[in-house]
């Protein structure tokens, strides 16, 4: 069983656990390792989960659970897929459970929690599959339930949609990438979900890579001028330039653009762009892409498909939490 350690304890300071600043919640090292392996920052995830739980409780208590569940009562519960899909967000859901279990410690109730991880993020699951089982104080389980499911369903939905796109272009040589069209404050998690579905991440932030779009071109006085300005100011930063017409390609490639974003071009134009560029830069299709034409686009020879829909409009994967008989 995991015994969440209070901030300031030897466990919180010395054994690799991560403590919620400035509160009393700590994550066990095995969960922290799982998060780090996924490319997630444990303190950041803990802060996001704490904010979600605080939003749900709104400074009060779970009045339904407080009234119907006895203090100290314990139970097992299962996270169960209600539909086929790809899982993402199980460690985040686990953080929510840990957080509520730790809160019960502060109320003088045993906060130990036992987690059985049945599958891992990135796994294809079928309706009815048990994803994770947990035993803890029943009040903690029910208080954490909705926040845990919100993260799990949302991220699994992104992973599921991403996998559909990845499957659609399989064997073409093209890869599916996300965009920065993410939910505010959830970018790290949503881009992780894309990776769980087999997709690639485009830039995480504005500082990672330069993307010269039409407004930058207008402000700089031309695409070549904009590219030169970026390289003079930030010589080591990768540069991608957006074009909307084929006659813009030669200028931006000659200027040294490493990557070109083909905005709202049809497949015939994309094939011509591939011919013109002839391997001098990578090409990324963007705008107007839908799953039904994904393979057609990929077969034009472009290197990447930029799909904002992976994060801005993916439906959830339905996952439920089923409490077993109380212990």
The separation between CA 240 and the C-alpha centre of its own chain, rounded to angstroms, equals 23
Helix (DSSP H) and strand (DSSP E) numbers for the chain = 13, 14
Domains defined along the chain, listed by start: 10-158+315-326 (3.90.1170.20), 165-312 (3.20.20.70)
**What is the distance in angstroms between the CA of the first residue and the CA of the last residue of the chain?**
16
Under 8 Å CB-to-CB from 306, ≥6 apart: which residues? 177, 178, 179, 202, 261, 284, 285, 286, 289
For the chain, strand residue ranges (E) read 18-19, 26-27, 74-81, 85-86, 114-117, 124-125, 130-137, 175-177, 210-212, 239-243, 259-263, 282-286, 304-306, 319-326
Catalytic hit among 84, 209, 263, 299 = 263
Give the whole-angstrom CA distance, residue 322 versus residue 126.
16
pLDDT score, position 26: 83
Residue 208 DSSP symbol: T
**Residue 118: helix, strand or coil by DSSP?**
coil
Q: Which residue in 117, 146, 280, 295 is the catalytic one?
A: 146
What is residue 3's predicted lDDT score, i.e. its pLDDT?
41
Pairing of strands 130-137, 74-81: antiparallel
Q: What angle do CA 128, 129, 133 make, to 5 degrees?
A: 115
Q: Which of 181, 203, 271, 280 is catalytic?
A: 181
Residue 15: per-residue pLDDT: 46
Instruction: Decide: 248 and 265 in contact? Cβ < 8 Å.
Output: no
User: 181 an active-site residue?
Assistant: yes
Active-site residue, from 180, 213, 271, 280: 213
Using alpha carbons only, give the angle 280, 256, 294 rounded to the nearest 5 degrees: 50
Catalytic residue among 121, 178, 242, 284: 242
Q: What is the pLDDT along the chain (327 residues), one digit of tens a residue?
A: 444 333 333 333 344 444 444 345 789 999 999 999 999 999 999 999 999 999 999 999 999 999 999 999 999 999 999 999 999 999 999 999 999 998 765 555 556 899 999 999 999 999 999 999 999 999 999 999 999 999 999 999 999 999 999 999 999 999 999 999 999 999 999 999 999 999 999 999 999 999 999 999 999 999 889 999 999 999 999 999 999 999 999 999 998 999 999 999 999 999 999 999 999 999 999 999 999 999 999 999 999 999 999 999 999 999 999 999 766
Residue 41 neighbours by CB under 8 Å, 6+ apart? 35, 188
Is 213 marked active-site? yes
Cis? peptide before 22, omega within 30° of 0: yes
């Amino acid at each position: 069983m995991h015994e969440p350690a209070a901030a300031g304890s030897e466990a919180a300071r010395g054994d690799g656990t991560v403590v919620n600043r400035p509160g009393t919640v700590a994550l066990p090292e095995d969960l922290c390792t799982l998060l780090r392996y996924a490319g997630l920052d444990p303190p950041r995830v803990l802060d996001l989960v704490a904010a979600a739980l605080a939003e749900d409780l709104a400074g009060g208590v779970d009045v339904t659970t407080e009234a119907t569940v006895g203090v100290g009562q314990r139970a097992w519960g299962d996270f169960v897929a209600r539909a086929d899909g790809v899982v993402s967000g199980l460690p985040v859901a686990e953080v929510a459970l840990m957080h509520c279990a730790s809160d019960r410690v502060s109320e003088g109730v045993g906060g130990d929690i036992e987690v059985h991880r049945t599958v891992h993020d990135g796994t294809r699951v079928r309706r009815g599959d048990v994803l994770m089982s947990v035993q803890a104080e029943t009040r903690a389980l029910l208080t954490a339930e909705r926040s845990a499911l919100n993260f799990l369903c949302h991220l699994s939905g992104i992973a599921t949609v991403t996998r559909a796109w990845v499957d659609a272009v399989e064997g073409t040589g093209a890869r599916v990438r996300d965009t920065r069209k993410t939910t505010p404050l959830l970018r790290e998690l949503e881009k992780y979900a894309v990776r769980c579905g087999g997709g690639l991440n485009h830039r995480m932030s504005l500082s990672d890579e330069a993307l010269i779009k039409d407004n930058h071109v207008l402000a700089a006085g031309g695409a070549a001028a904009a590219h030169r300005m970026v390289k003079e100011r930030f010589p080591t930063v990768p540069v991608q330039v957006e074009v909307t017409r084929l006659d813009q390609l030669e200028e931006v490639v000659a200027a040294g653009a490493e990557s070109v974003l083909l905005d709202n071009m049809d497949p015939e134009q994309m094939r011509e762009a591939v011919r013109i560029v002839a391997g001098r830069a990578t090409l990324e299709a963007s705008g107007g892409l839908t799953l039904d034409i994904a393979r057609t686009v990929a077969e034009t020879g472009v290197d990447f498909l930029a799909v904002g829909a992976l994060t801005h409009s993916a439906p959830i994967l339905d996952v439920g939490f089923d409490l077993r008989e109380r212990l």
